[in-house]
Amino acid sequence: MTRSVGILGMGCYVPEKVVTNFDLEKIVDTNDQWIQERTGIKERHIAAPEEATSDLAYNAAVKALAAANVKPEDIDLVIVGTATSDHNWPSTACILQDRLGCTKAAAFDLTAGCSGFVYNLAVASQMVKTGLYNHVLIVGAETLSRIINWKDRNTCVLFGDGAGAAVIGVVEDGYGVLGIDLGSDGSGMKFLVQPSGGSREPASHETVDKAGHTIHMSGQDVFKFAVKVMGKTALQAIENAGMQPEDIDWLIPHQANMRIITAAAKRLKMPMEKVWVNVDKYANTSAASIPIAMCEAIEAGALKKGDNIVLDGFGAGLTWAAIVLKWAI
């Protein structure tokens, strides 16, 4: 019989420091009203100077392991989804594996932009389903504040730092991951990119001077793409799960922009009471946004065993990803 695979426990962490829209008014030509009306964001958390992505990931992972009641030495694989790894290489997953004491685990980072956590869950669940592994630790963690151009009002107001983690393992029959849809369209890579610091444009004084190591984004192109794919990928994952949109109890979308979330909910005909929204408090934390939202929903007691949940994301690549889960804990 095939194994049912799902989430055994989750944890999240956001840095202490909160930066409000009013704080940003002091550094760029923006205002709270514009940011709230166009994005729904009120504030975001920003990492302390000594905090790197693996530190955020560690804090989230410790909580996830405790919630799942799984010991670090029982983890077979660590996957970190991030666009802001501690170093270009080696992977942040290896740094995390060592710090947690996951002594028998393999480890790698996965690059799928803001879709990273959902991609991670797809990969991890299949590896447990086949019997290759029993426990996989997946993390979405970002310190986007380190690659923000704080002079660019088009982007600097949109992002925040944070991490979310989950332990993946065997769950009761019929629960866990039921439908997956992943996709990509690399022709849109130019719309959301950190141009410099890789092999195409190695770091130089010039790349620093032109802010090539920061986020470059064509907001409207990403917005149009997001509105198109969020509904489409969620509907495909629901169909792959053998369900109808009306079977879904919760939509947990990537938290990039309230207008994008509303459009996705509309496409799925989901009332907003069934959509988990926290973009106001954390802004866009990229690969961390969906697991942070899930953690909040768990803490609020909103997710009940047996609930059908759709995780729905899009991001740099361009990528998109949706998973239907029957909540198992």
Q: Where along the sequence are the contacts to ligand UT7 (CB under 6 A)?
A: 30, 34-35, 38-39, 114, 153-154, 157, 192, 217, 219-220, 222-223, 226, 256-257, 284, 315
Parallel, antiparallel or unpaired: strands 308-315 and 250-253: parallel
* Residue 127 or 275 having the CB closest to ligand UT7: 275
Residue 99 phi, psi dihedral angles, 5° rounding: -65, -35
Parallel, antiparallel or unpaired: strands 176-184 and 161-170: unpaired
**Catalytic residue status for 254:** yes
Residues in CB range of 324: below 8 A, 6 or more apart: 177, 178, 179, 180, 237, 238, 240, 241, 243, 248, 308, 309, 310
* Residue 127 or 226 having the CB closest to ligand UT7: 226
Q: Please pick, among 21, 254, 257, 295, the residue that the annotation labels catalytic.
A: 254
* Residue 77 or 193 having the CB closest to ligand UT7: 193
How far apart are CB 256 and ligand UT7 at their closest, in Å?
3
How far apart are CB 135 and ligand UT7 at their closest, in Å?
29
Q: Please pick, among 21, 59, 120, 284, the residue that the annotation labels catalytic.
A: 284
**Residue number with the shortest CB distance to ligand UT7?**
219
How far apart are CB 303 and ligand UT7 at their closest, in Å?
23
Nearest to 230, CA basis, from 284, 187, 268 = 268
Tokens of 121: 């869950």
Contact 111, 124 (CB under 8 A): no
How far apart are CB 294 and ligand UT7 at their closest, in Å?
17
Euclidean distance between CA atoms 148 and 56, whole angstroms: 18
Q: First-to-last CA distance in the chain?
A: 21
* Residue 320 or 327 having the CB closest to ligand UT7: 320
Instruction: Give catalytic residues, as residue numbers.
Output: 114, 254, 284
